A and B are shown apart, each in its own frame.
Chain A
Amino acid sequence: AQTVTQSQPEMSVQEAETVTLSCTYDTSESDYYLFWYKQPPSRQMILVIRQEAYKQQNATENRFSVNFQKAAKSFSLKISDSQLGDAAMYFCAYRGGNQFYFGTGTSLTVIP
């Protein structure tokens, strides 16, 4: 069975600093996709970044980048130059075929 694990329920970062959120997953599939979603207090789920498993190159979106280690089944999110607006719940997610699994989430606090 596919599972997604986020081992950090809460994280904090000083404004303008860098923080890394961890995510590991388990799958027997070779073709799948990984995502990080952000859920601010408004509760709207926002796609932050996506990674295709067949691509070795780590995805990057402005201040957000991932460290994708396929063999280790690890998919961490790095937020650089953290901003107050980055404060939110972050969910790691896995998609294989039509199956979609979320991690339990990491609550990120940004300290001014």
Chain B
Amino acid sequence: GAVVSQHPSRVICKSGTSVKIECRSLDFQATTMFWYRQFPKKSLMLMATSNEGSKATYEQGVEKDKFLINHASLTLSTLTVTSAHPEDSSFYICSATRVRSGYGYTFGSGTRLTVV
């Protein structure tokens, strides 16, 4: 089955620093990956759609200069939270899907970011 690996699972960083989160599709090629943010006991909020070889598409209200997304290959997308602040503390989840639209999304295990 499709497997998506997300790393790191937890990270604590100081305010003002940057943090990179990786999302890899291990056994399939994903031309599109998605990045979500989830607040406690809330649904997933789509932040951006990451397209291999092109610029990411950001949802309204998401700062593209703060949340940098790079989709360098068909199996890797990265989310970099730049100049992190405590309000950026959250649970971030990536997902990927195969080309055929009938497949559901496979999710990474998520990253708990804490900015102190």
Chain B residues, Cβ within 8 Å of A43: 38, 91, 93, 109-110
- Residue contact A45 to B101, C-beta cutoff 8 Å: no
Chain B residues, Cβ within 8 Å of A89: 41
A28 within 8 A of B: no
Main secondary structure of the interface of B (DSSP, over half): strand
B104 within 8 A of A: yes
B60 within 8 A of A: no
- Residue contact A91 to B104, C-beta cutoff 8 Å: no
| Given A97-B101, A100-B34: A45 and B42 interface contact (C-beta under 8 Å) | no
A64 within 8 A of B: no
- Residue contact B104 to A93, C-beta cutoff 8 Å: yes
Q: Which of B41, B102, B105, B110 is A100 in contact with, Cβ under 8 Å?
A: B105
B35 within 8 A of A: no
**CB of B115, distance to nearest CB on chain A (Å):** 18
Main secondary structure of the interface of A (DSSP, over half): strand
B44 within 8 A of A: yes
Interface size class of chain B, counting residues whose CB lies under 8 Å from the partner chain: 20 to 34
Contact with B along A22-56 (1 / 0, CB 8 A): 00000000000101010000111101001010000
Q: Which of A44, A50, A97 is B104 in contact with, Cβ under 8 Å?
A: A50
Interface residues of B in 19-74 (CB under 8 A from A): 32, 34, 38, 41-44, 46, 49
The chain B residues found within 8 Å of chain A, CB to CB, are 32, 34, 38, 41-44, 46, 49, 91, 93, 95, 101-102, 104-107, 109-110
Can you list 24 A-B contacts with CB-CB less than 8 angstroms, sorted by A residue number? A33-B101, A35-B104, A37-B104, A42-B109, A43-B91, A43-B93, A43-B109, A44-B109, A44-B110, A45-B44, A45-B105, A47-B106, A50-B102, A91-B43, A95-B101, A95-B105, A96-B101, A98-B49, A98-B101, A100-B105, A102-B44, A105-B41, A105-B42, A107-B41
